[in-house]
């Protein structure tokens, strides 16, 4: 009997610390955020470390601003809120490649945890500078042509992101719907932006089957936008503005000429339509930013590495029309277009 009691006491002495550890561990696990299936979330940020995210934006205009704000808002929804779990350092290159490189060098020196590069030039600057820091890009038309990734499916390295490649052929078809007798479309673009050249080449590739001829006007600075638009007066039946950062940031200059000369303007993205172009068929940049944030969460949580994450595009496209802009440019939008529009700016 004595031996049994002694044995039981030894077992209790041995098991009690193990039981205490087990209860403690269970308490810690229950504090871990759960995903929609009730399983612990791998995306939850560490409570003891504030991560730093650098955002490099090439220039400020509505489309790029929307991508940035969508990115930040979606991160907050996922538990990565600026000033709490993360610190966001946002910088604009103001349209200067030299400044974009300086920003990339600063983020590299600061050893930020992740960089978001908005637009092709800043993405190129970050990719050339940062070899270890994860780099996500957004609002980049052709990341392969820009030298950012090996392929869309397998980027490799430390860079991946979301592409804003727009449906150029579908957008040019809008010219014919608005002005059936249109023959020549003028495209103003920056000669220094790879993404713009890709879109011009795409337009030229499909123009013939649409019964259109493309006239190009390449610029090297924003101050040349108005002059380029004026040089096409009397030669083109419509303007097409691709997702060119320099031109879009100065689109008011094109719109001024277009309204005075009654030349319709088709845009590469919806924010340009909201600014005064007549129509586009394309993506939502806020949603593109949100999509990029979802990729960022996977990287920050350690769930995935950039080089293994395919470049993503946006599947949902919508027709956006601006009735007031059409009136200013002497164009009547057909009812068939209004009926299928995803959004109409009055």
The one-digit pLDDT tens for each residue of the chain (346 residues) are: 434 444 444 434 433 343 333 333 333 333 333 343 333 344 556 556 899 999 999 999 999 999 999 999 999 999 999 999 999 999 999 999 999 999 999 999 999 999 999 999 999 999 999 999 999 999 999 999 999 999 999 999 999 999 999 999 999 999 999 999 999 999 999 999 999 999 999 999 999 999 999 999 999 999 999 999 999 999 999 999 999 999 999 999 999 999 999 999 999 999 999 999 999 998 899 999 999 999 999 999 999 999 999 999 987 899 999 999 999 999 999 999 999 999 999 8
Q: How many CB atoms lie within 10 A of CB 244?
A: 27
For CA atoms 149, 76, 72, 91, the dihedral sign is negative
β-pairing, 114-118 vs 159-163, is unpaired
For residue 68, the SS3 value is helix
HSE toward the beta carbon, residue 251, CA cutoff 13 A: 28
Burial state string for 185-217 with b = 16 or more CB within 10 A and e = fewer than 16:
bbbbbbebbbbbbbbbebbeebbeeeebebeeb
Which pLDDT value is given to residue 18?
37
Contact (Cβ atoms closer than 8 angstroms) between residue 271 and residue 61: yes
Put residue 148 in one of left, alpha, beta given phi > 0 → left and psi -120 to 50 → alpha. alpha
Q: Does the model's pTM come out above 0.85?
A: no
**Can you tell me the distance from the alpha carbon of 17 to that of 166, in angstroms, rounded to the nearest whole number?**
63
Nearest to 115 by CA among 50, 52, 60: 52
**Can you tell me the distance from the alpha carbon of 164 to that of 243, in angstroms, rounded to the nearest whole number?**
9
SS (H, E, C) 179-214: CCCCCEEEEEEECCCHHHHHHHHHHHHHHHHHCCEE
63, 280, 325, 343 from 346: Cα distances, Å: 20, 15, 9, 10
């Amino acid at each position: 009997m004595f031996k049994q009691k002694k044995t039981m006491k030894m077992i209790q002495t041995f098991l009690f610390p193990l039981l205490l550890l087990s209860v403690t561990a269970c308490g810690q696990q229950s504090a871990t955020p759960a995903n929609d299936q009730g399983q612990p979330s791998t995306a939850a940020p560490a409570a003891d470390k504030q991560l730093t995210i650098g955002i490099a934006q090439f220039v400020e205009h509505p489309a790029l601003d929307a991508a940035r704000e969508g990115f930040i808002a979606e991160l907050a929804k996922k538990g990565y809120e600026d000033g709490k779990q993360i610190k966001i350092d946002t910088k604009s290159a103001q349209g200067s490649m030299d400044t974009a490189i300086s920003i990339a060098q600063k983020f590299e020196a600061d050893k930020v945890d992740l960089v978001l590069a908005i637009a092709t030039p800043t993405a190129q600057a970050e990719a050339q500078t940062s070899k270890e820091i994860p780099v996500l890009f957004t609002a980049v038309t052709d990341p392969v042509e820009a030298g950012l990734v090996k392929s869309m499916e397998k980027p490799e390295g430390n860079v991946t992101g979301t592409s804003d490649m727009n449906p150029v052929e579908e957008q040019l078809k809008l010219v014919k719907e608005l002005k059936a007798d249109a023959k020549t479309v003028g495209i103003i673009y920056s000669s220094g932006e790879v993404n713009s050249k890709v879109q011009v080449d795409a337009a030229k590739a499909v123009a013939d089957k649409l019964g259109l001829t493309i006239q190009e006007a390449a610029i090297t600075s924003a101050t040349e936008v108005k002059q380029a638009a004026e040089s096409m007066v009397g030669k083109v039946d419509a303007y097409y503005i691709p997702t060119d950062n320099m031109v879009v940031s100065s689109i008011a200059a094109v719109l001024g000429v277009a309204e005075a000369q009654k030349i319709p303007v088709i845009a590469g993205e919806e924010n340009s339509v909201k600014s005064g172009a007549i129509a586009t068929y394309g993506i939502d940049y806020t949603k593109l930013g949100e999509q990029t944030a979802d990729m960022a969460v996977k990287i920050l949580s350690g769930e995935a590495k950039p080089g293994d994450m395919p470049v993503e595009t946006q599947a949902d496209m919508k027709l956006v029309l601006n009735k007031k802009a059409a009136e200013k440019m002497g164009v009547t939008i057909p009812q068939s277009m209004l009926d299928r529009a995803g959004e109409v700016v009055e």
